[in-house]
Chains A and B, each alone.
Chain A
Amino acid sequence: MAGPAALSESAAAPAGAAVSLRGVTKVYDSGLLALGPLDLDVRSGEFVSLLGPSGCGKSTALRLIAGLKAPTSGSVGVSHHSGQARAGHSNGFAIGFVFQEPTLMPWTSVRENVRLPLKLAHASLAESDARVREALAQVGLTEFADAYPRELSGGMKMRVSLARALVTDPDILLMDEPFAALDEITRFRLNNDLLSVWRNLRKTVIFVTHSVFESVYLSQRVIVMTSRPGRLSTEIRIDTPEPRGEDFRTSAAYAAYCRMVSNALAPSYAGQSGS
């Protein structure tokens, strides 16, 4: 599916490419080639995982897509679906970003944290109130709107972070190892919740992780990246009937996919001592 063909299709296809990277590289100030060249197409509404060893540039790729960094060479295309209504706003309104840490403002309440993107866009209080309520409901945190971040558990903080990313109703959700620091049970619950959000809202999700199990459980497509410089190594489609749930996690198909992805990932770790 990836490759040039996907892009040319996208114009005609009802579900076009939401994100397309062409020959993207990123060289750090130190002269180190961190990423690429990388070609990547993500269809609108697709759930894609970028999987690779630490330091393979997958987070960098995400930041390039978000426009937080500029590529050294190549092009980053992000389509704005409901672009007309949002003209004048920066990428921020088409893209929601969830960091590895919850990245909340500790000095203010959950509600104000979620409201931030709207406040920065000068949305009216009445309008933002409704959307903040909706976003908090989507992640099941309605009752905690007035709590301060420090009063929440790690999983709940991550939900706030997710609500904040959803509050602008973005087309694309970029997630940078969001659940890596959580315990397994919490992580499984958040995986399920994320899937249900994705099913309901049909966002395009690009999910960076170094967990094979997580990537297989969540994605329609797992993209395995090589070690530095990060390049596309293999991509594996996870074809399984929707909706996925805990049954899938214990199924033979899941185990088979995990083995397949693990095998694909193994060469990326080859030559890395101590991993």
Chain B
Amino acid sequence: MTSFDASPSSAAQPEPDTRRLRMVRLLLPLLVLAAGVVLWELVVRLNNIPAYVLPGPGAVFRTLVQDWPVLSQSLLTTLLTTLEGFVAAGIGGIILAVLFNQSKWLEYSLFPYAVILQVTPVIAIAPLLLIYLPQQTAVVVCAWIVAFFPVLSNTTLGLNSVDRNLAGLFQLYGASRIQTLRYLKLPSALPFILAGLRIAGGLSLIGAVVAEIAAGSAGAGSGLAYRIAESGYRLNIPRMFAALLLLSAAGIVIYGLLALASHLMLRHWHESALGKEN
């Protein structure tokens, strides 16, 4: 009965050409990086620039190794803040979006304030938060404020992008609200939610850093951003660069992990996670 139909297409094997292309895409940025590092080192050496003005990559790397005990502690602090802000943003954004989806009244009442929270620069809110909240809480709240909006707006978009016919089907079979949410809306919103979370990951790091900088002058911080500010005051420029390097690396790792998680969750069905041939 089915012989005339095409058999299911198996996952396409990467052709040699695509594999070479992937290698090129991996190698080119690395090449640019290497060239940049070499150029940087050359500029510093040839011009005899002192380390307190512009340290060469070698000096930065040495500082990174020497100061690792201090820097790793700070990295952990910042990562913890980022993680807390991210989790709060993820949970808060998704729950709020689901509530908005269930009740238009709630959406109309609260959505404008979510937008206001988003468009007000967090760097301007942070000092206020630091006055009213304990420092650690204030920093997490900053990370949350920056990161929750993309989750909220993407999830809202996803929940509203349900296939009309599928929605009709659920209606036909008398699905309850909870069933529709669980079996239809959330799964179809998943790619949107994951995209929102991917943005939120980077943003919660930014939020944490902004809050740490704002809190820096207030004292007791020990995150990476605080280290940067502190090293700046002490003209310890190599350490500033080392801390900055760690922040970038943290951002890249966060993005990579979230992209990987997203890929693993969508690889069976979503266009974004499928090969181009399919």
Contacts and interface: CB of A to CB of B under 8 A. Distances in A.
A152 B8 CA distance: 5
Interface in B137-172: 163, 165-166, 168-172
B113 to A, nearest CB: 31
Interface string A146-166: 011111110110010000000
B174 interface: yes
B190 A107 contact: yes
Q: Which of B4, B9, B173 has the most CB of A within 10 A?
A: B173
B104 interface: no
Q: Which of B165, B179, B190 has the most CB of A within 10 A?
A: B165
B2 interface: yes
B172 A150 contact: no
B183 A120 contact: yes
A66 B172 contact: yes
Interface string B171-192: 1111100010001100110100
Contacts, number: 90
Contact of B278 (A103, A141, A150, A153): A150
Contact of A186 (B1, B4, B179): B4
A147 B183 CA distance: 19
Contact of A121 (B8, B173, B188): B173
B273 to A, nearest CB: 11
A97 B172 contact: yes
Nearest to A144: B8
B6 interface: yes
Given A120-B179, A140-B2, A95 B172 contact: yes
B115 interface: no
Contacts of B5: 152-153, 155-156, 186
A193 B175 contact: no
Given A90-B172, A120-B170, A156-B6, 18 more contacts: A66-B168, A97-B168, A97-B169, A99-B168, A99-B169, A103-B165, A107-B268, A119-B183, A121-B174, A140-B1, A140-B2, A147-B8, A150-B278, A152-B5, A153-B5, A186-B5, A189-B4, A193-B1
